[in-house]
Structure 1
Amino acid sequence: MPQLYELNLRDYWNIFLKRRRLVIAAFLAVFLSIFIYTAAQTPLYKASVLVKVDPYLTLPSDVIFPSPREYWMPELEMSDYTKQLVSRPIIEQAAKELGWIKDDMSDKERDYIVSAINDDVSADAVEQTHLIRLYATSRDPYKAAEIANKITEVFKRVNREQKNQKTHGVRVFIEETLADTSAKLREQEERLRVLTTQGAVGVGVNIINQIYELDKRETEISTKFTEKHPDIMRLREQIASLKDELSKLPKEEFEYGILKRDTAINEGLYTNLKQRLNEAMIKEAEKVDNVILVSPAIPSKKPVYPNKPKNYMIGLMFGLLLGVTAAMVTEHLDTSIGKVEDIESFIKVGVLGVIPFYSVKEKGEETKTKGWRKLFPKRAAKKEEGLRKPHIDVLEKGSSLFLEAFRILSVNLQVMFGKGERIKNKILMITSCNPEEGKSLISSNLAVILAQLGYKVLLLDADTRRANVHKIFGLSKKEGGLTDILMGKLSADSAIKTATDLMLGSTGVENVIDKPWLNNLNIITSGSVFPNTINLFNSEKTDETLKYFRNKYDVVIIDSSPILAVSEPSILVPKTDGVLLVYKAGSTSRLALRRAKTQIESVKGKGAVSGVILNNVTPEIGMDTYYYYNRKYYGEDDKAETPGISDIEKGKGGGYV
């Protein structure tokens, strides 16, 4: 199957030109709205400060007293600095130093000022760097720069104070520990002096040192070996032997040895603390500041809000988008067509006939047009259409204008299929895009007109789902028709309905007896209901039946189901000589018309649609080529009474299709 038709650039351009007023109106509405909104906004200015947090800042004390650096977690640390930069204490202190917060203000006033500043400032860490950018927004560019610089200044000072406070705490801790250690040393030295006077000479000092060293050695190798290891067992034996030897010494010698060892440890600790105290005092004397101002804020000359170029560009884009969308939606919803040339250029198929809207009136009924019908003719047409019944009596009452439309259609068909001569052995299928477009009534009227012109015509109702032909011609039932032939229940000839059947139906003898040309018209109804008619239509029996009818009649008119609604018409299309597509003006989407043409061509090939029959044309559609609808038929008596079916052979009569 060929690819479905798509709108090309020329089609879109034509739609744009046709709806240019709507496009311009929508564009101006959107663009002017955004322009006025942008102009009414108070401009806001933004200032920014760039600071660097240096985790590896080298101080003089680091050169004098080298020490391992603290572990640095960039993401965590930078996040902490970023949050602290815009924290409430920093902002409040900056507002105080700027004079925006007074000492006599209430807490509520302070909170309001701090909250307002907090809403106007933000801070972001620059990825993969140690940089933080602080933004401040204000209606005054100088005020924005001022608050950004002041917040940065307070942040640097607070960070420096926090760092120095930490160093001060370290120094105080070392001083207190050093004092405690010094006091312990004095006590231990005094006790050693007393033990010396009591006769202790330090015999146990050597033993205690050996025990300490052996304990230290055992602790080291116990991490590598089990308790049953020979080295560990040997060390434990040595320690036990030394402890046994130590227990045999006098009490004074034992205590003297312990004190001597503790004194040596405290002396080492005292020496280390003295060194650390000197380092802490030097670090405390330094002003630790690892926050560096990289770029201060300067007043901006260009506001960041509103962004006029951006807003105008958005207005331009959305204006055009809304205009084009409105044009496309309106075009899609607008099913009316301005002129025949629009249809022909739209689907590249000629219009063979134009059937006007015509309201059927009972004899003697006055055809007065109410005021609202003049104002809303399309609505009036739809209301009158709902009152009509598909019946043969539509051919009893009508205007020459209506009949003339079918005569023009029949002449166009003769030119197309008869090549200027009479039509011979042709099968024509009449279908539509959607239901209720008048295809059945057009098929019936066309069959009557062709029969009147002397053609031997067969009207075949192939719309098995919503059969109407039997109703139009007043036949009592649809059974005994096409599906019965295809199922083999009836022969083709026995299913044919003739003028005799019309006289026996609701049409009546009086409306048929004086019309000898009705003998040229045969009718086959849709037949009995069959659950799967597509299989019937796709059978060889269908091909044989259509071939038989082609040879027997001049014209076979098939009234099929809508091409887009069901699948049966697609089966019948390749079996016909031509397809006429009924399009109901003011009702059916033009895109549906194009899809119907594409569907027909997909099963039969390009050019399969012989022509379009435009139905239900009303004056408000405004087709300039339909001027003849408002003119009297040439040579017709203005006062001629609307005739019945008995006068149709004289060129009078008509009805709504």
Structure 2
Amino acid sequence: MRKDLAMDLAPRSGEFDLLSYWKVVRERRWTILGIAGVIVAVVLVATLLTKPTYRASSTLQIERETIKVVNSDALASADSPYDRDFYQTQFELLKSRSLALRVIQDLNLINDPYFSGGAKPKAPGGPRAAPAAGDIRQREQALIGAVQGGLTIEPVSNSRLVRISFDAADAGLAARVANAYADAFIASNIERRFGASAYAKKYLEERLAELKGRLADSEKQLVGFAEKQQIISVGEGEPSLSAQNLSALNALLAKAQDERIRAEAQWRQANAGSGMGMPEVVDNALIQSLRQSRATLAGQYQEKSASFKADYPEMVQLKGQIAELDRQIATEVNNIRSSVNSRYGAAKAQEDLLARRIQLLKGDVLDLANRSIQYNILKRETATNQQIYDALLQRYKEIGVAGGIGANNISIVDRAEVPGGPYKPNLRRNVAFALIFGLVLGTLAAFLLKFLDRRIRSSKALEALTGRPVLGIIPKLEAGTTPAQASANARSPFSESYRSVRTALQFATPHGLPRTLLVTSPGSSEGKSTSAAELAHNIAQLGRRVVLIDADLRNPSLHKALGRSNAVGLSNVLAGAAEVSAALQDVEGAGFALITSGPLPPNPPELLGGDGLIRLLEQLSAQFEIVIIDGPPVLGLADAPLLASRAEATLLVVMADVTRSDAVHGALQRLSATHGNVLGTLFTRWDMRGDGEYGYGGYGYYQYGASDR
């Protein structure tokens, strides 16, 4: 977007400014209304000339699955009941060419006057000739596009309903076709289901016969291999006889090893020392009785040894009795030791026997395992064939039951009725849409024209374009009012605006009003001469000595506006043909002096570019406080840049709604090229009525306090 337009539509203070957009719409309102009116008129005429079209609709309910009378899964993949792909498939089937062809054939549409244009071919001079089959096929194929063109499939949102609509110029035909589509879709769906069942049944019959033979062959191979390898099955999942025996012998071997370990421990204890500490000895009652008797005799012997000598007969008798008891005890201990040794030998022999038997059984089990590899393969193959055969047989029976039930997952909710009125064209709707579209298009055109329009329409756009302040906004005068008349009223908006410009100029430089001020504009007739005269008048009202110079040596106007003679003026002074005092004229009632342009010279740039202008400005600056120069336009002439280089400051006058942004930009470039000091701009002939810029409410800002008191 161009910079000036962007500023026109820019928000104020960071807010979204709808007023700027409303201004564009209001300025281009006739363009918007004109475009809308043309579009409405075109649509209205087209609607009135359009042949009425009738729409009839039938409604179907499509379920994902049928009611399951038997526990039989669908032949298709069991997807989610809310699968969108399923319903999208149904909608596409409704739009298919095959279904359209079926409707054409069911209703015999090739002979319907609506599609045949009212012509019914007949044989010349006799009954109607029967068309060839190829011709009928071609005519049916040609009608498919026409039938599909009038068809509309509308899924009802958040439901399992779909609306089938058909548009035609014949209301009865629209209803017949809509109902025929519903009937044909249901019939084709049932046919597809029966076709799928029949195909599946035939396929399963072939597979069952094949699998039955394979199952018989695998069972024969399994039995033959078992007989050849002497493999006896003791049950499904049960180990073989050899494995069972090996397991039992392993348990017996573990028990024998435990008994041998205990017997070996007893044997080692019995062979270590006197053996008196063996549990069998300790627990033996005879040995304990003998030991007790010996202890008694030993006590007697010890007691009598104090009185008798060892060879005393009684002492010899006691000693013999003790020796006999020791012999008897040793005999009993040796018997117990022999018993322990025997048990240990028997336990070790049993363990060795079991170990040898287990070694033999291990070989048998490993040999059986090697021979069972092929047996297990044959057994698994037989089981797999049996499972597949049972599953296919079950499916075959289910399909046979389900195929004869005839359930359907599609039903008609509402049949199409003959419409009572046309569906289109809808005059109200078309006109409303045309009006809305026209207004939108007109609004877009208005903003496009605004974008293409390079005229400056607001002070904000001017300030953004130049990068310099707008020192004043001069309102547009009422029709028939001259600047002199407006200036005569001190309280008029025209006068107030120039006084505000004067105030702005008082703060434009560090020393106040510029001593030499050039007033120019990008083009002609933009109000620069009027502005120069008004500024001279308003500054003079401050009591300052002001001189106004008409430096437009090509098209001067101040002498006419102020009613002064132009016989001697600026051109005479610059050419050296007259003194400054001869060119000065007093403007009665205005309070400032005037130097008109004088006779028009053939070479204005040479006069303005010479030293005469510098000397003139020096003389006038010594005599007057403020020198205001009314210069020619900037563009296309070299005069204004020369004057800008001589003046202390330059004021660029821009006319609202007339001056183009590129003209202002070019003028600033030319003035900057000669080092002209452009203080700011002056926005003239601005129509403030109804404009909300700055929120002044039109002329009310300048008329504040203007009422009679």
TM-score relative to the length of structure 1: 0.49
Which structure: larger Rg? 2
TM superposition score normalised by structure 2: 0.46
